[in-house]
Structure 1
Amino acid sequence: MTLQTIADRVGVSRMTVSNAFSRPDQLSPTLRDRILAIADELGYVGPDPAARALARGSTGAVGILLTESLSGAFADEVATTFLGAIADELAPTGLGLTLLSTDTAGGVVPARDVAMDGALVYSCDPESTAVDWLLRRKMPLVFIDQVPADGVPAVNVADRAGARTAAQHLVDLGHRRVGIVTSGVRGRHGMVSPGDMIDGYVGSQRLSGWLDALTPAGVSPAIAREPHGDPESGYQAARLLLSAPEPPTAILCFSDALAQGVVSAAVDAGLSVPEDLSVVGFDDSPAAARMRPPLTTVRQDIHAKGHAAAAALTQAIEAAKAGTPGPAEHLCLPAELIVRASTAPPRA
């Protein structure tokens, strides 16, 4: 079944049939509906996508590279909210979103082998070979939660400033025994020192922000680090911190998901939050306000980040098509401390 088969049946040119599928504005609604009805009757599903992409020089799809497994991303409310915001921004453009992982099973390297017009690089290890492949392909890219790079648009959050306000909040409440719970695949796990941590751009920014407030106050935080960022990992990290001879009276967490586990560990240890232990998260995920007690956290506008990243990528793609690439903008969104019931002064 070909375009010519339908053209002969309808009595129009092959180009007219092609326009019915790819350029509907070139035809009257009546003629287009007639062509599509005949195509449906004959079982024709449309031009071959690969051939059409080759002819147009465009695939109609953009990728988003995730370092973690795709199943892990869908279990994270922050990640799914972010992906939803990207999809909303892309919808009017007709571009589809292709999820890319760093998995190379079967010899397939998605960042190298998948056809796409551009890609978003979201919170990835800068040493990832997948990021290197995307850069080598010289396609339009946007970095999110990454170290800004010359020539690549970037969207980041004021992680350091947000973490600083969170730590200062605890210092102002009177806490001097403070713990930190974080995560990361690379580097040491368990009880670590700041020099042992290898947590990428966001992790290093948040650690710097916490220390910006804690160090001048004479606070040397105890740091527990787990390989994953889910509540179970937060639970295990909190158990390490709370088993110390002088356990912390407050814990700063890299994310709200880790904070959920910290609160659970405190309750299981017979502690009351915030009377015995203050807990602070980061992100202001949908779960933060639902927790008991509601979680003090640092809010980043996840929707704004997703919309900004997708808009920057579509602009970069259009500029590349026109051969007029402009300056790569580096956008930094604000972070705001949201004080709820999970923090209070330490017991006397």
Structure 2
Amino acid sequence: MGGVAVGRVTLQTIADRVGVSRMTVSNAFSRPDQLSPTMRDRILAVADELGYVGPDPAARALARGTTGAVGILLTESLSGAFADEVATTFLGAIADELAPTGLGLTLLSTDTAGAVVPARDVAMDGALVYSCDPESTAVDWLLRRKMPLVYIDQVPADGVPAVNVADRAGARAAAQHLVDLGHRRVGIVTSGVRGQHGIVTPDDIVDGFVGAQRLSGWLDALTPAGIVPPIAREPHGSPESGYQAARMLLSAPEPPTAILCFSDAMAQGVISAAVDAGLSVPDGLSVVGFDDSPGSARLRPPLTTVRQDIQAKGHAAAAALTQAIEAARTGGPALAEHLCLPTELIVRASTAAPH
């Protein structure tokens, strides 16, 4: 590796001061296992004294043929990801898994309208595709770049590692819980960008993989019980969207006595709408969420929900991507495993028998 100057200080400057070769100084920064801790500490101390921070990352990436970064493509706006407890927990788990590898995480929007298209133009060694429309132009760009990819909450594809959760089984358990309590008027609150919004039927919905799986699970339990649920669908999965969807359902001539929600965030809005309508939860309305987000147990009443292990999903996705990147670098076997993590119904105080 060549010396990269910061001001007038180069690797050779430090080597001359310490009395070692330039390669030894380079190893102190890029291959510390090649040096004794004492020697490395000595070199780094001299570098610090001279104001040298290390080889230029861009030059080092060029020499290695890697960027040291991986992308994560998000279907929601980037600001929206930080307002969602599930998304932030998931991103944190990915960052924790990547930390020992030295890989950084770059957030990518699905925007393809501007001069810079992140999925096409951002330099990265691989990418995670998280709950995105498979027909998205951004996903298509990543595929065309032929870089290592991992799908999360997506329709599994041949040759691409995937990490999903048992959404359909979890939703089925949630709906069966309400049926077993005796509810026969059950509504659904869900979200999705494409397709119709407002009060819809299952045939009106054009949804992503997770939404379709959860809807199928709810109907698996409701249909045999003779229940045809009214469905309120909003573009986003926020508490505000849950509130608006619940208001539509609760204004019907025969409003539901229980509501199944696409997410805990939407369930939070449903509970607020119920309270504003003069209904107590669960005596006037039972509410079930999905995700078991960090705040679900803190809601009043604590939320009955379907737990998915968000951290395990993040760790598994990042591990699969680092393996795929390593396989691409070395020419080793690429494992395209499709993992499906379990879900579990968590019964709390937001559900009860209808009155």
**Is 1:186–2:205 an aligned residue pair?**
no
**Is 1:175–2:183 an aligned residue pair?**
yes
CA positional deviation for 1:173: 1.2
Partner residue in 1 for 2:149: 141
**Secondary structure of the structure 1 residue equivalent to 2:159:** coil
**Is 1:291–2:299 an aligned residue pair?**
yes
The farther-off stretch of 60-69 and 252-261 is: 60-69
**Secondary structure of the structure 2 residue equivalent to 1:325:** coil
Counterpart of 2:291, as a letter, is: D
**Is 1:344–2:325 an aligned residue pair?**
no
Partner residue in 2 for 1:95: 103
Partner residue in 2 for 1:325: 333
Partner residue in 2 for 1:54: 62
Q: Structure 1 residues 41 and 105, CA, compared in 2 at 3 Å: closer, same or farther?
A: farther
**Is 1:236–2:233 an aligned residue pair?**
no
Equivalent in 269, 281, 284 of residue 289 of structure 2: 281
Partner residue in 2 for 1:69: 77
CA distance in 1, matches of 2:144, 2:308: 31
Equivalent in 266, 276, 299 of residue 268 of structure 1: 276
CA distance in 2, matches of 1:105, 1:96: 26
CA distance in 1, matches of 2:258, 2:126: 43
**Residue deviations 1:94-132 (CA, integer Å, cap 9, x gap):** 222111112347511111122211111111111111111
**Residue deviations 1:113-171 (CA, integer Å, cap 9, x gap):** 22211111111111111111111111111100000000001000110111111111111
**Secondary structure of the structure 1 residue equivalent to 2:349:** coil
CA positional deviation for 1:12: 2.8
**Secondary structure of the structure 2 residue equivalent to 1:274:** coil
Counterpart of 2:276, as a letter, is: D
Equivalent in 86, 106, 120 of residue 112 of structure 1: 120
CA positional deviation for 1:31: 2.8
Q: Which runs of 5+ in 2 are unaligned?
A: none
Using the size of structure 2 for normalisation, the TM-score is 0.94
**Is 1:208–2:201 an aligned residue pair?**
no
Partner residue in 2 for 1:81: 89
Counterpart of 2:345, as a letter, is: L
The farther-off stretch of 223-232 and 92-101 is: 92-101
CA distance in 2, matches of 1:308, 1:14: 40
Equivalent in 154, 157, 177 of residue 165 of structure 2: 157
CA distance in 1, matches of 2:35, 2:183: 71
CA positional deviation for 1:52: 0.6
CA distance in 2, matches of 1:210, 1:52: 52
CA positional deviation for 1:203: 0.2
**Is 1:222–2:261 an aligned residue pair?**
no
CA RMSD of aligned residues (A): 1.4
CA positional deviation for 1:293: 0.9
Partner residue in 2 for 1:11: 19
**Secondary structure of the structure 1 residue equivalent to 2:248:** helix
CA distance in 1, matches of 2:20, 2:69: 31
CA distance in 2, matches of 1:317, 1:179: 44
**Residue deviations 1:311-343 (CA, integer Å, cap 9, x gap):** 111111112222122341100011111111111
**Residue deviations 1:263-301 (CA, integer Å, cap 9, x gap):** 000011001111111111000111111111111111111
Partner residue in 2 for 1:25: 33
CA distance in 2, matches of 1:128, 1:122: 12
CA positional deviation for 1:64: 1.1
CA distance in 1, matches of 2:120, 2:113: 13
The farther-off stretch of 6-15 and 300-309 is: 6-15
What's the % identity of the aligned pairs? 90
The farther-off stretch of 30-39 and 60-69 is: 30-39
CA distance in 2, matches of 1:25, 1:326: 28
CA positional deviation for 1:23: 0.9
CA positional deviation for 1:11: 3.4
**Secondary structure of the structure 2 residue equivalent to 1:142:** strand
**Is 1:198–2:232 an aligned residue pair?**
no
Q: Which runs of 5+ in 1 are unaligned?
A: none
**Secondary structure of the structure 1 residue equivalent to 2:158:** coil
Counterpart of 1:246, as a letter, is: E
The farther-off stretch of 85-94 and 157-166 is: 85-94
CA positional deviation for 1:10: 3.2
CA distance in 1, matches of 2:140, 2:239: 31
**Residue deviations 1:76-108 (CA, integer Å, cap 9, x gap):** 001111111111111222222111112347511
CA positional deviation for 1:43: 2.2
